[in-house]
């Protein structure tokens, strides 16, 4: 049995795996274990010729794919299809997924393949066995979506949506939700197209009314489709974005806020910076009070202190009346400049130079000291080294000046002078 | 920095590995990654076409990599294989073959090789039940076994595992009767330890993580075309070479001059290089040391600092942000930040693994986009750890203390240090880790104050059951221009993950690499041209290479720009070499199959198509090179043209091969004897005694390699050399001739007539004993004298018993000397030799050389007897001077006459080059199991020098070595016997 297929039918081979891992005692699974055993084992049940040829064929296909020999891979694939008649039921069950995986890849990259061929293949594969219908439908729809065939994709998803087999398992449920969400996304695309048309129409026109009526219908359907999925923990950026846009359009501000807040703050969700960014942007559009904005960005600051919104955050904090916000404003600037990707951000340096001066004038030396104490052993080497001074001066004199100014304020006269006059 | 505005939809599930009820979102293929969602409709209508370069392909210029440098002068041995460790029997009733460690074979080896330890005490206890005389006087009692016949059978014993092994019914009965008693004590003592050792070896065979990260580095030089390859070579990989290489526009690298090298005191496991702020640094990890060099602009390395890691270092990384800063991980679970200026600072310590319990002590640390934040990885996950020392004065104080204590790696740091990093989850001013520690909800992921998990071996990344992290790597370069400054690569045995540190736990990209070996090497290269995706090289331990095209600007998620491709491995180069005789061919194949331990690549600037120069280092110290050319869009017929070997390439390979074959092959560690060599070698050795057999022939026979013309010397038919005595070849042919004609018996008689004459004893003696050591696995180790003198009674006051000596050994010796009637002593001595009751020659300092010499050489008993009879004055050396009448001993000779000639002809072991210091031995100490087998020979060799006994003063150290050898058996990193033997060997030898 090859590694590839093994990994796919993990549920059926779990016991075997456990048996084999037992020796190492670590529970680690080694895909190359079989190879070692084969050099030693002489007895044991021999694989049948059929199994040998199919597994050899599988490895040929994989090899051809990795060498981009699509033509050859397709030829091998032709022979590999015999695996569907394997007498080993466990292999036979795993086969459709492998065939789909490899076959779709071949068809995706093969220079002579086209959408029709892919469609035919996908439709056939869906109905071999029952386990893969949803997965293949979803991927097929994505393929069509990618190729701009939205209607076909929609039809596909609608078909898949109503498909049921046996008891609904949780993975099936997630898949159905996903399918519905993608359908919702398609509807959102249609909606946003209509919205654009609408904006070009005259409001008094008769067509306007029908169009807006259509849009209302869409909105309702979409909200049903999208709403279910985004309750499940995950990263659903495109869905959330579209959903919120629609809710906002129809004036359901509370609903939109709820969706976004849930997306950002639900503990079961991964800490997705975009969730906070969407919420912030929404609140900004809504003209929420500064306090509110600051509290959203504060959390974003904790997750991604290097985000470009941090400069905006700093501006908000600077404008705030609260002293602790002023202090945080300094911290945020330092935080941004800590990151390797931001060292040449001249705005940040400008802000820092200006704000340092302001802070010191406001006799908050302690704040600066606090920030500086943890950085003084590495910022000079990181930002104010001779190398950077030279290269900054060559590339961007303004940046070099700002940096020199900050260096001067922070590290005393000795260092920055040399930095400035290189 | 910008964050991708819209991430790919993913289900997020928490849970353990292999959660089967989660739809694996990576179930889709590589093309799925190429799919893009139309962001919104207007955009979609514009660029609905897939903008994936379908034909993105790095095309190799040759079908396989070519050797860049000539092979090193040291022989290389591939080491242990599964065959050495696993049980080779079949399991007819099992569906799947199972892994069974072969403890029995190892144990049986031990019993053969160290029978003294294994059986001496029991032998003593069972002494009463043995009848030592021959078969004539029949005993009525069933409980008494005749030892003589048993010994006779044992004389022709066959090694374990030989399908043709002959087992007499007597032996069989004896082993059945005695088995339960004989075997148990030793097996019980050793079994567990041995099993443990074998398990470790087996695990190492399955996954050797020592070379994680790779030991080959490309240090860019002054111009982009010139650089240096830094790599270890030599049989133990303890020489660090600096080879200057120039990349031609055509892609072929040129070696500029002879490499410089630095001799280190340990094997190099990892070589890391970085150029930070114009300063090139080189860090090297050995097993217990790490070192840092600065490479000057001229390319000369200047050592900066060396660090000792007591528990063993597992990983080292150079900071891409601050010159000279390193992260070092140790097996104890500690991560230290190391700068040459400030010394060592421990930033993290957790002996436990991150996510779930895993026994592996492997740890890894790398840097992140924030210079003061590290990733800490183990087999179960990767965590982000903030190392900043924040807070008030007391913390700064403690940090200084720590730096002073920096060198003591294993030392615990002052308590203040710990408190400075511990975090109150409540937040506020005292919670610095919250900055990157993320939201409070993630603090529950690990011990408090340890940041948050970047990657979790679990359902979050849809990990499979049994999946483990093998490599983590920060992909950013530290320069603000690099687009992937927040990306981390995580490799498991199944998949490759790209994780953004700003979105922990959710992989941005997952690709099932399907490599058939552990992916321990990865290199992300700069884009070969503007707008091109970045090549990410992934190297498996067995040499497989994959190349992935990673694309994604700062504001979009990283994804595969095209289907991944595999690159040729060194195995594919086999066709470039000329066809060889099987032995050499096999050697070449083995060399090409050596594990890959280093990977480096450079993209020289070129005007036309981008070129990728790929270097790989094998465990044998070979550097291979391959040139790849980017085919951005090969058109609709993307059928890759098959490349073939150019004449230059084959010439290069032949030259390399020639150099390789000149390297002497590694001495065989141990070869399983398939039949009794002794009997076959008999006639050869006979003439060897006369000093005429070419060394080559003996060497060839002992190594079991193909006999070649040069081994046999000149053919006797061509021109018989004018020798005073008949040469070996015609001896052999004479015998064969005689045998063919059916006159073998007559020839035999003649032979015997020749061999019975007086000979030069010392020379023969030496050879014989050396041979016996070669076949030590076949023969009993110690032999008693056939000499006519009785053994001397031990001298009690002259031998203080070392504390560790088992009393049984001495007791045994004294016992047999005292209570046995004198006419039985001869047989008894024989028996004692067989059963090895005692082994240290040093104990009986009073035994005359002739006598003890025959004690050592079993197979030469007969000859010694003759010698003794020929040289009676020797017996006068014995303290008692009691001589056994010849009549008594002659009866024994008679029984052995069958074996006489054979025994006499113990060939000189060609392996033993009689190096007094045993110089070849330490080499093998590194691998304990190999050493077990090899050591035997040396040991034999030592004990086989009878006259030594006189010189050694009381030999107090040898018994201790004996006792310790049983403890050291499972892991013989140090073999005390060796050191002891070395001391013996330095003594002047008598009789030589």
Residue range A292-318, pLDDT digits in tens: 999 999 999 988 898 989 999 999 999
Mean pLDDT (whole number) for B136-147: 61
Q: Which residues in chain A touch residue B49, judged by CB atoms under 8 angstroms apart?
A: 148
Mean pLDDT (whole number) for B133-149: 62
Q: Which residues contact B736 (CB under 8 A, 6 or more apart)?
A: none
The pLDDT > 90 percentage for chain B reads 17
Interface residue A303 vs chain B (CB under 8 A): yes
Q: Which residues in chain A touch residue B34, judged by CB atoms under 8 angstroms apart?
A: 108, 146
pLDDT(A283) > 60: yes
pLDDT(B986) > 50: no
pLDDT score recorded for residue A16: 42
Q: Which residues in chain A touch residue B3, judged by CB atoms under 8 angstroms apart?
A: 273-274, 277, 304, 307-308
| Test the A interface: residue of B2, B5, B12 with most A CBs within 10 Å | B12
Quickly state the pLDDT bin for B929 (edges 50, 70, 90). very low
* Local structure of B884: helix, strand or coil: coil
The answer to whether the CB atoms of A20 and B10 lie below 8 A apart is: no
Q: Which residues in chain A touch residue B495, judged by CB atoms under 8 angstroms apart?
A: none
Residue range B627-665, pLDDT digits in tens: 998 886 655 444 555 678 888 889 999 999 999 988 887
Interface residue B357 vs chain A (CB under 8 A): no
B340 or A319, which is more confident: A319
B372 or B444, which is more confident: B372
A41 or A189, which is more confident: A189
Mean pLDDT (whole number) for B930-953: 37
| Test the B interface: residue of A17, A21, A27, A297 with most B CBs within 10 Å | A27
Quickly state the pLDDT bin for B242 (edges 50, 70, 90). very high
The Cα of B163 is separated from the nearest Cα of chain A by a number of Å equal to 15
Residue range A102-143, pLDDT digits in tens: 888 888 888 888 888 889 998 888 888 777 788 888 888 888
pLDDT(B768) > 70: no
| Test the A interface: residue of B206, B360, B379, B637 with most A CBs within 10 Å | B206
Mean pLDDT (whole number) for A81-88: 81
> Which of the residue ranges A3-7, A205-209, B356-360, B966-970 has the most confident prediction, judged by mean pLDDT?
B356-360
pLDDT score recorded for residue B133: 65
pLDDT(B527) > 80: yes
> Which of the residue ranges B138-142, B572-576, B835-839 has the most confident prediction, judged by mean pLDDT?
B572-576
Quickly state the pLDDT bin for A41 (edges 50, 70, 90). low
pLDDT(B668) > 80: no
Q: Give the least confident one: B76-90, B123-137, B476-490, B925-939.
A: B925-939
The Cα of B489 is separated from the nearest Cα of chain A by a number of Å equal to 18
Residue that the structure tokens 């957790």 belong to = B350
The Cα of A43 is separated from the nearest Cα of chain B by a number of Å equal to 4
Q: Which residues contact A122 (CB under 8 A, 6 or more apart)?
A: A104, A136, A137, A139, A140, A143
The Cα of A108 is separated from the nearest Cα of chain B by a number of Å equal to 7
Q: Which residues in chain B touch residue A36, judged by CB atoms under 8 angstroms apart?
A: 82, 86, 99, 205-206
Interface residue B394 vs chain A (CB under 8 A): no
The answer to whether the CB atoms of A26 and B35 lie below 8 A apart is: no
Q: Give the least confident one: A18-32, B33-47, B727-741, B886-900.
A: B886-900
pLDDT(B372) > 70: yes
pLDDT score recorded for residue B685: 46
The answer to whether the CB atoms of B466 and A21 lie below 8 A apart is: yes
Interface of A with B in 308-337 (CB under 8 A): 308, 335
The Cα of B480 is separated from the nearest Cα of chain A by a number of Å equal to 4
The answer to whether the CB atoms of A303 and B565 lie below 8 A apart is: no
Residue that the structure tokens 């890759």 belong to = B640
Chain B residue nearest residue A382, CA to CA: B322
Q: Which of A29, A271, A378 sits opposite B504 (nearest CB)?
A: A271
Q: How many Cβ pairs closer than 8 A exist between chain A and B?
A: 330
Tokens of B126: 């069972």
pLDDT(A421) > 80: no
Q: Give the least confident one: A386-390, B245-249, B726-730, B904-908.
A: B904-908
Rounded distance, CA B25 to CA B512, Å? 12
Quickly state the pLDDT bin for B803 (edges 50, 70, 90). very low
The answer to whether the CB atoms of B480 and A37 lie below 8 A apart is: no
Interface residue B634 vs chain A (CB under 8 A): no
H/E stretch holding B377 reads strand B373-378
Rounded distance, CA A196 to CA A219, Å? 15
H/E stretch holding B986 reads helix B976-986
Residue range B306-329, pLDDT digits in tens: 988 888 999 999 999 988 899 999
DSSP per residue, B922-973: HHHHTSHHHHHHHHHHHHHHHHT-TTHHHHSSTT-HHHHHHHHHHHHSS--S
The Cα of B62 is separated from the nearest Cα of chain A by a number of Å equal to 14
Tokens of A63: 């090899």
The CA R_g of chain A, rounded to the nearest whole Å, is 30
Q: Which residues in chain A touch residue B12, judged by CB atoms under 8 angstroms apart?
A: 233-235, 268-270
Residue range B163-172, pLDDT digits in tens: 555 666 777 7
Q: Which residues in chain A touch residue B542, judged by CB atoms under 8 angstroms apart?
A: 32
The answer to whether the CB atoms of B517 and A67 lie below 8 A apart is: no
Rounded distance, CA A243 to CA A259, Å? 9
Q: Which residues in chain B touch residue A24, judged by CB atoms under 8 angstroms apart?
A: 199, 202-203, 206
pLDDT(B897) > 90: no
Residue A137 CA from chain centroid, whole number:
21
B444 or B478, which is more confident: B478
pLDDT(B49) > 50: no
Angle between helices B115-125 and B103-113 (to 10 degrees): 70
Mean pLDDT (whole number) for A350-354: 92
Asked if residues B316 and B328 have their Cβ atoms less than 8 Å apart, the reply is: yes
Q: Which residues in chain A touch residue B32, judged by CB atoms under 8 angstroms apart?
A: 139, 142
Tokens of B985: 């060997």
B905 or B258, which is more confident: B258
Other C-beta atoms closer than 10 Å to the C-beta of B607 total 5
> Which of the residue ranges A205-219, B127-141, B848-862 has the most confident prediction, judged by mean pLDDT?
A205-219
pLDDT(B780) > 90: no
pLDDT(B675) > 50: no
Q: Which of A20, A272, A305 sits opposite B435 (nearest CB)?
A: A305
Asked if residues A28 and B468 have their Cβ atoms less than 8 Å apart, the reply is: yes
Mean pLDDT (whole number) for B422-431: 28
Mean pLDDT (whole number) for B133-148: 61
Could you report the predicted ipTM of this complex, rounded to two decimals?
A: 0.89
Residue range A46-78, pLDDT digits in tens: 667 788 888 889 999 999 988 888 889 999 998
Mean pLDDT (whole number) for B809-827: 49
In order of A190, B19, B330, B349, the CA distances from B291 in angstroms are 62, 43, 14, 21
The Cα of A289 is separated from the nearest Cα of chain B by a number of Å equal to 23
B526 or B394, which is more confident: B526
pLDDT score recorded for residue A274: 92
Chain A residue nearest residue B56, CA to CA: A68
Mean pLDDT (whole number) for B766-784: 37
Chain B residue nearest residue A134, CA to CA: B23
- Answer yes or no: pTM beyond 0.90: no
Q: Which of B32, B81, B279 sits opposite A142 (nearest CB)?
A: B32
Q: Which residues in chain B touch residue A10, judged by CB atoms under 8 angstroms apart?
A: 18, 20, 464-465
pLDDT(B849) > 70: no
Interface residue B200 vs chain A (CB under 8 A): no
Residue that the structure tokens 């989660």 belong to = B22
The answer to whether the CB atoms of B36 and A24 lie below 8 A apart is: no
Q: Which of B2, B8, B88 sits opposite A308 (nearest CB)?
A: B2
Rounded distance, CA B692 to CA B327, Å? 63
B93 or A411, which is more confident: A411
* HEC secondary structure over chain A: CCHHHHHHCHHHHHHHHHHHHCCCCCCCCCCCHHHHHHHHCCCCCCCCHHHHHHHHHHHHHHHHHHCCCHHHHHHHHHHHHHHHHCCCHHHHHHHHHHHHHHHHHHHHHCCCCCHHHHHHHHHHHHCCCCCCHHHHHHHHHHHHHHCCCHHHHHHHHHHHHCCCCCCCCHHHHHHHHHHHHHHHHHHHHHHHHHHHHHHHCCCCCHHHHHHHHHHHHHHHHHHHHHHHHCCCCEECHHHHHHHHHHHHHCCCHHHHHHHHHHHHHCCCCCCCHHHHHHHHHHHHHCCCCHHHHHHHHHHHHHHCCCCCHHHHHHHHHHHCCCHHHHHHHHHHHHHHHCCHHHCCCHHHHHHHHHHHHHHHHCCCHHHHHHHHHCCCCCHHHHCCCHHHHHHHHHHCHHHHHHHHHHHHHHHCHHHHHHHHCC
Average pLDDT, chain B: 66
Rounded distance, CA B769 to CA B946, Å? 9
Chain B residue nearest residue A335, CA to CA: B435
pLDDT score recorded for residue A297: 93
Residue B230 CA from chain centroid, whole number:
23
Asked if residues B233 and B288 have their Cβ atoms less than 8 Å apart, the reply is: no
The answer to whether the CB atoms of B494 and A270 lie below 8 A apart is: no
Interface of A with B in 150-179 (CB under 8 A): 169-171, 174-175, 178
Interface residue B705 vs chain A (CB under 8 A): no
pLDDT(B248) > 70: yes
Q: Give the least confident one: A219-223, A386-390, B105-109, B796-800.
A: B796-800
Asked if residues B477 and B321 have their Cβ atoms less than 8 Å apart, the reply is: no
Q: Which of B37, B505, B565 sits opposite A68 (nearest CB)?
A: B565
Q: Which of A35, A36, A302 sits opposite B435 (nearest CB)?
A: A302
Mean pLDDT (whole number) for B448-461: 74
How do beta strands B130-131 and B145-146 pair?
A: parallel
pLDDT score recorded for residue B34: 60
**B445 φ, ψ (degrees, to nearest 5):** -70, -25
pLDDT(B380) > 70: yes
């Amino acid at each position: 049995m090859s590694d590839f297929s093994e990994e796919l039918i993990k549920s059926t081979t779990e016991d075997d795996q456990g048996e084999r891992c037992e020796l190492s005692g670590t529970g680690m699974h080694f895909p190359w274990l079989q190879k070692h055993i084969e050099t030693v084992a002489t007895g044991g049940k021999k694989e049948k010729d059929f199994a040998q040829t199919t597994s050899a064929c599988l490895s040929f296909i994989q090899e051809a794919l990795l060498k981009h020999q699509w033509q050859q891979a397709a030829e091998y694939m032709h022979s590999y299809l015999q695996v569907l008649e394997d007498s080993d039921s466990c292999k036979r069950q795993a086969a459709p997924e492998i065939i789909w995986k490899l076959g779709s890849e071949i068809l995706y990259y093969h220079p002579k393949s086209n959408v029709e061929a892919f469609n035919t293949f996908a439709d056939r594969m869906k109905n071999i066995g029952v386990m893969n219908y949803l997965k293949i439908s979803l991927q097929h729809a994505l393929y069509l979506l990618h190729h701009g065939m939205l209607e076909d994709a929609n039809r596909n998803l609608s078909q898949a949506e109503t498909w049921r087999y046996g008891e609904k398992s949780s993975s099936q449920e997630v898949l159905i939700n996903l399918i519905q969400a993608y359908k919702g996304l398609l509807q959102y695309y249609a909606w946003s197209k209509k919205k654009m048309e609408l904006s070009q129409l005259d409001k008094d026109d008769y067509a306007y009314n029908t169009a807006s009526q259509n849009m209302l219908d869409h909105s309702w359907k979409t909200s049903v489709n999208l709403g279910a999925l985004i309750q499940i923990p995950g990263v659903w950026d495109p869905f959330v974005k579209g959903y919120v846009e629609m809710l906002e359009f129809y004036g359901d501000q509370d609903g939109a806020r709820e969706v976004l807040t849930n997306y950002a703050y639900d503990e079961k969700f991964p800490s997705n910076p975009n969730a906070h960014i969407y919420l912030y942007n929404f609140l900004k559009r809504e003209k929420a009070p500064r306090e509110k904005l600051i509290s959203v960005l504060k959390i974003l600051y904790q997750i991604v202190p290097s985000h470009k919104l941090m400069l905006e955050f700093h501006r908000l904090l600077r404008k705030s009346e609260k002293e602790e916000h002023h202090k945080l404003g300094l911290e945020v600037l330092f935080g941004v400049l800590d990151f390797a990707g931001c060292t040449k951000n001249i705005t940040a340096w400008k802000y820092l130079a200006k704000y340092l001066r302001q802070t010191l004038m406001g006799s908050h030396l302690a704040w600066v000291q606090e920030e500086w104490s943890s950085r003084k052993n590495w910022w000079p080497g990181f930002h104010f080294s001779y190398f950077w001074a030279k290269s900054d001066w060559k590339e961007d004199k303004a940046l070099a000046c700002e940096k020199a100014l900050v260096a001067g304020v922070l590290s005393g006269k000795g260092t920055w002078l040399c930095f400035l006059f290189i | 920095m910008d964050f991708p505005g819209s991430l790919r939809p993913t289900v997020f599930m928490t849970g353990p590995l292999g959660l089967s009820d989660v739809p694996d979102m990576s179930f889709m293929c590589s093309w799925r990654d190429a799919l893009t969602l139309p962001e919104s409709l207007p955009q979609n209508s514009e660029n609905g076409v897939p903008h994936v370069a379908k034909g993105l392909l790095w095309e190799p210029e040759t079908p396989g990599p070519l050797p860049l440098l000539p092979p090193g002068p040291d022989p290389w041995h591939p080491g242990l294989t599964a065959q050495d460790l696993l049980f080779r029997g079949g399991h007819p009733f099992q569906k799947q073959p199972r892994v069974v460690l072969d403890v029995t074979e190892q144990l049986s080896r031990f019993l053969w090789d160290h029978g003294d330890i294994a059986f001496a005490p029991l032998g003593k206890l069972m002494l009463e039940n043995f009848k030592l005389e021959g078969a004539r006087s029949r005993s009525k009692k069933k409980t008494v076994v005749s030892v003589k016949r048993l010994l006779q059978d044992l004389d022709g014993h066959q090694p374990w595992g030989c399908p043709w092994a002959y087992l007499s019914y007597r032996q069989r009965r004896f082993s059945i009767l005695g088995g339960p008693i004989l075997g148990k004590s030793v097996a019980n003592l050793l079994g567990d330890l041995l099993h443990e050792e074998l398990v470790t070896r087996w695990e190492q065979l399955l996954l050797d993580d020592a070379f994680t990260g790779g030991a080959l580095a490309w240090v860019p030089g002054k111009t982009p075309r010139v650089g240096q390859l830094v790599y270890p070579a030599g049989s133990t990989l303890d020489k660090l070479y600096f080879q200057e290489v120039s990349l031609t526009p055509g892609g072929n690298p040129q070696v500029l001059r002879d490499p410089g090298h630095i001799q280190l005191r340990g094997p190099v496991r990892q070589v890391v290089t970085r150029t930070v702020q114009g300063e090139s640094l080189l860090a090297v990890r050995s097993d217990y040391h790490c070192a840092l060099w600065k490479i000057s602009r001229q390319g000369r390395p200047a050592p900066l600092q060396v660090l000792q890691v007591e528990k063993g270092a597992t990983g080292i990384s150079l900071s891409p942000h601050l010159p000279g800063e390193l992260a070092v991980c140790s097996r104890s679970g500690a991560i230290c930040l190391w700068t040459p200026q400030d010394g060592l600072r421990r930033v993290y310590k957790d002996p436990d693994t991150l996510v779930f319990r895993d026994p592996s002590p492997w740890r890894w640390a790398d840097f992140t986009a924030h210079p003061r934040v590290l990733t800490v990885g183990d087999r179960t996950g990767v965590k982000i750890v903030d190392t900043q020392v924040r807070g008030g004065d007391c913390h700064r104080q403690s940090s200084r203390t720590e730096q002073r204590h920096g060198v003591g790696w294993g030392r615990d740091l002052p308590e203040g240090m710990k408190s400075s990093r511990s975090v109150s989850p409540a937040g506020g001013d005292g919670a610095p880790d919250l900055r990157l520690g993320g939201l409070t909800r993630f603090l529950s992921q690990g011990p408090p104050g340890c940041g948050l998990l970047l990657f979790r071996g679990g359902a979050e990344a849809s990990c499979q059951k049994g999946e483990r992290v093998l490599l983590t790597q920060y992909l950013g370069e530290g320069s603000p221009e690099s687009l992937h400054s927040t990306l981390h690569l995580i490799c498991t045995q199944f998949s490759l993950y790209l994780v953004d540190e700003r979105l922990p736990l959710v992989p941005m990209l997952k690709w099932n690499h399907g490599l058939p070996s552990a992916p321990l090497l990865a290199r992300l290269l700069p884009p070969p041209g503007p707008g091109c995706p970045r090549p990410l090289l992934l190297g498996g331990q067995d040499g497989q290479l994959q190349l992935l095209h990673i694309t994604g600007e700062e504001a979009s998620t990283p994804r595969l720009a095209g289907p991944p491709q595999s690159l040729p491995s060194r195995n594919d180069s086999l066709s470039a070499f000329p066809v060889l005789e099987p032995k050499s061919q096999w050697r070449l194949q083995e060399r090409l199959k050596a594990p890959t331990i280093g990977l480096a690549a450079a993209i020289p600037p070129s005007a036309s198509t981008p070129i990728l120069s790929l270097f790989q280092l094998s465990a044998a110290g070979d550097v291979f090179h391959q040139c790849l050319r980017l085919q951005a869009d090969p058109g609709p017929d993307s059928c890759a043209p098959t490349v073939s070997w150019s004449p230059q390439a084959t010439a290069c390979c032949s030259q390399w091969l020639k150099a390789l074959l000149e390297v002497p092959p590694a001495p065989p560690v141990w070869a399983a004897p398939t039949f009794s060599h002794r009997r076959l070698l008999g006639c050869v050795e006979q003439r060897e005694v006369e000093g005429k057999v070419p060394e080559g022939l003996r060497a060839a026979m002992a190594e079991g390699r193909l006999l070649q013309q040069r081994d046999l010397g000149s053919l006797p038919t061509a021109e018989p050399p004018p020798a005073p005595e008949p040469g070996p070849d015609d001896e052999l042919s004479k015998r064969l001739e005689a045998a063919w004609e059916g006159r073998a018996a007559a020839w035999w008689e003649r032979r015997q007539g020749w061999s019975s004459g007086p000979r030069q004893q010392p020379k023969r003696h030496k050879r014989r004993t050396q041979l016996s050591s070669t076949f030590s696995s076949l023969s009993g180790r110690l032999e008693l004298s056939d000499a006519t003198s009785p053994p001397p009674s031990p001298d009690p006051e002259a031998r203080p018993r070392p504390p560790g000596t088992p009393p049984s050994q001495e007791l045994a010796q004294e016992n047999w000397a005292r209570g046995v009637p004198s006419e039985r002593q001869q047989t008894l001595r024989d028996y004692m030799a067989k059963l090895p009751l005692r082994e240290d020659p040093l104990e009986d300092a009073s035994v005359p050389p002739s006598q003890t010499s025959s004690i050592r050489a079993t197979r030469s008993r007969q000859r010694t007897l003759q010698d003794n009879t020929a040289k009676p004055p020797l017996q006068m050396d014995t303290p008692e001077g009691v001589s056994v009448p010849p009549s008594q001993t002659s009866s024994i000779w008679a029984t052995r006459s069958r074996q006489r000639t054979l025994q006499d002809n113990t060939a000189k072991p060609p392996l033993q080059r009689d190096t007094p210091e045993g110089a070849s031995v330490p080499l093998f100490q590194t691998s304990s199991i190999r050493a077990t087998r090899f050591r035997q020979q040396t040991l034999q060799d030592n004990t086989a020098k009878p006259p030594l006994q006189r010189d050694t003063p009381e030999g107090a150290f040898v018994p201790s070595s004996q006792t310790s050898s049983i403890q050291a058996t499972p892991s013989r990193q140090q073999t005390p016997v060796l050191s002891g033997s070395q001391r013996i060997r330095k003594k002047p030898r008598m009789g030589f």
